[in-house]
Structure 1
Amino acid sequence: MEDTADRHVDVWARELEHVDPVAEAIFARLAILARYQTQLRRDVLAEGGLQHWQFKVLLMLRRNGPPYTASPSQLADLLGLTRGALSARLAAIEDAGWIVREADARDRRRVHVRLTDAGNDTLMRHIGGEGNGERTLLAGLTARERKNLANLLRKMVLAAEGEA
């Protein structure tokens, strides 16, 4: 059975004799899967009227665990944003009812951003939609193959992170 990556490798192996066909096939397939997953995420988010940056804010709040709060500076650091950029984004998310900004009970100068029930429901719907696509991609693999693939990819990530 031949896939797009096989055809890609065939072309470049003929054109460039130094191309390692196995390495080229691996990275071509990783790129194809990354594009598929990116498009799936865009589609799932668009269906629910959520933009990627809004999803990321909700995700970071959920990631913190109950009660799903963070200070604006913590959120900005997690998202790699300036405080000003985050503040502009929070306003739109707050208007949608997905978060609230609350003054700290002990220090009114401090603010906490909290994920609302509506924000959590929105986030979970989108995570579920992405999960469906991921399950479709992994359906052709046995549980053992999925575990082996995850372990092999971990080795690659560790190698990449070690060189960073």
Structure 2
Amino acid sequence: MEDSVDRLVAVWAREMHRVDPVKEAIVARLTILARHTAQVRRDALDSGGLGHGQYKVLLMLRRSGPPYECSPSRLADLLGLTRGALSARLGPIEGAGLITRTHEKGDRRRVRVRLTAAGHAAFEAQAGSEDAGESALLAALTEAERRTLSDLLRKLVLAAEAERGALAPAQPAPRRSRSDGS
């Protein structure tokens, strides 16, 4: 069976002799699959009514484990947002009843952002929609092929992370106190 990449690689091999056709085919297919997966996720978001930024907030709270809450500063760090940008994003999500912001007892300055039952349901619906699209893509592979592909992709990810010095998950930058110029 021939796909669009096979046809492109044949042209590249004819026109540019320095091109490694296997490498070009791998990279082109990874690019096509990345675009396809991104579109499946956008379609799932559109059908679920959540914006990308809203979904990311719910995702980070869900990842935090029970009771599915965290401080706004930690949430901003996880999302790579400024505190102001996060605050602007939280308002509509809170208005929709998907999260609550509460003050800690004993210290009104400390706020906790918590996923509500409605937020949990919205996240689960969104995740289920994404899962269906991803499963449809992978349906072309047997279980053994999926495991093999996963192992090969892990090898590539490890090499890419090692090249960038990112063997450990990215850690948020430490917060500076007001006394050190922030």
TM-score range, shorter chain: over 0.9
Distance 1:134 1:63 in 2: 20
CA RMSD of superposed structures (Å): 0.8
- 1:1-164 map, 5 Å: 1-164=1-164
Percent identity between matched residues is 64
Q: Which amino acid aligns with 1:20?
A: D
Taking structure 2 as the reference length, the TM-score comes to 0.88
Give secondary structure in 2 for the equivalent of 1:45.
helix
Deviation at 1:49, TM superposition (A): 1.3
Deviation at 1:115, TM superposition (A): 0.5
Give secondary structure in 2 for the equivalent of 1:110.
strand
* Structure 1: 5+ residue stretches without partners: none
Q: Which amino acid aligns with 2:121?
A: D
Give secondary structure in 2 for the equivalent of 1:101.
strand
Q: Which amino acid aligns with 1:29?
A: R
Distance 2:83 2:8 in 1: 44
Distance 2:98 2:4 in 1: 41
Q: Which amino acid aligns with 1:92?
A: P
Give secondary structure in 1 for the equivalent of 2:102.
strand
* Structure 2: 5+ residue stretches without partners: 165-182
Q: Which amino acid aligns with 1:116?
A: T
Q: How many residues align?
A: 164
Distance 1:131 1:27 in 2: 24
Taking structure 1 as the reference length, the TM-score comes to 0.97
More helix by share: 1
Q: Which amino acid aligns with 1:8?
A: L
Give secondary structure in 1 for the equivalent of 2:108.
coil
Distance 1:57 1:110 in 2: 19
Q: Which amino acid aligns with 1:73?
A: S
Deviation at 1:106, TM superposition (A): 3.1
Give secondary structure in 1 for the equivalent of 2:109.
coil
Q: Which amino acid aligns with 1:40?
A: V
1:27-54 deviation per Cα after TM superposition (whole angstroms, max 9, x unaligned): 1111111111111111110112111111
Distance 2:8 2:113 in 1: 47
